[in-house]
Amino acid sequence: MRKIVIDSKIPYIKGVLEPYFEVVYLDGNAISPSEALGASALIVRTRTVCNKSLLEGSSVECIATATIGYDHIDIEYCKEAGIDVYTSAGCNASGVVQYVIAAIYASKRSPDTTTVGIIGCGNVGGLLSKTLRKLGFKVLCSDAPRRDNGNFNEHIDIDELVSKSDIITFHTPLIKDGCYKTYHLASGSLFSRAKEGVMIINSSRGEVVDTLALIDAIKSKKVCCSAIDVWEEEPNINTELLGMVDIATAHIAGYTRKGKERGTEIAVQHIASKFNIDELKQWKIGSMQLDLIDLEVSESGSVADKNSKWREITDLMPQFFDIKAQTSYLKSHKMEFEEIRGNYLYRKEYF
């Protein structure tokens, strides 16, 4: 029987693949070359670095990550080694959108007077753009690859976005080199070009924001409000920055129950397709979800309708996501980042 190694923190997956594989569950950081050696597949999260050191000489045919990001996987090495890589792209988009809206609400910004600049407009950034417009915000978008492909109507130059936005929120993958490099995209230079008193939100990857540059920008009051969910050097986060930001969470922006279900479902479906397991190719968890608030407000709808929807969402927000309470908890338990993230009680999506 084929062997599959699965990160033990991936929810809702235990018992699903046992009829088809010898299944080994391990902490993500504990998946070692010796475990990979006899495995046909890995199902991982961001805590497992999948590179030559882990995979060389192994029998791994594919890696499915139950996350949208894939910077923990050496894609080039996997191509060379003939290892297929599958992501769960888009699985947590609505959860991250709800996180960003909670952060904006906590900052007391009003939709009528606020321009939000979104850098990176894939599954998450694209959904965020549509949602914010329906709630009455002015939205600017900048996505360099899409702009270079000729989409000039929707995507402006990043310098223009930075200079015009009251809030800048990052939704890019982490790319460490090349023409679309995002490593330290939020640098001292970017902050210097921003409006005085700008709000910065990062729920993409920690290394997209230069920690020291953000600290300086907060000290100088160039950045007057900040919401940080992802951090450089996780879980050993910079405690000076932790103490300075207004919203601080433990890499849980996308941690909704539905988002985690989607991530697991997509990963299992990828494995089923790879190994031709017909019974699991459309596998769903099928949990009960509460009724969602209808957000069907036209982007060209009336200001009154948009304001009404904003109030409806924000009035209910504390019942589903008390972002200030979670900030207070992380700040008072700063050495427990990994435990907070690993034991997080998944939120319910409500709109």
Active site residues: 205, 234, 251
For residue 292, the 8-state DSSP code is: P
Integer Cα distance of 243 and 156 in angstroms: 34
Q: Pick the closest to residue 18 from 281, 342, 263, 280 (CA basis).
A: 280
Q: Pick the closest to residue 100 from 204, 206, 203 (CA basis).
A: 203
Judged by DSSP in three states, 244 sits in helix
Integer Cα distance of 1 and 255 in angstroms: 33
With both helix axes pointing from N to C terminus, report the angle between 93-106 and 323-332 in degrees, rounded to the nearest 10: 90
- Residue 19 has which token pair? 């009829």
- Residue 25 has which token pair? 């569950």
Omega before 235 within 30 of 0, i.e. cis: yes
Integer Cα distance of 205 and 317 in angstroms: 25
Q: For the sheet with 167-170, list strands across it.
A: 138-142, 115-119, 167-170, 198-202, 223-228, 247-248
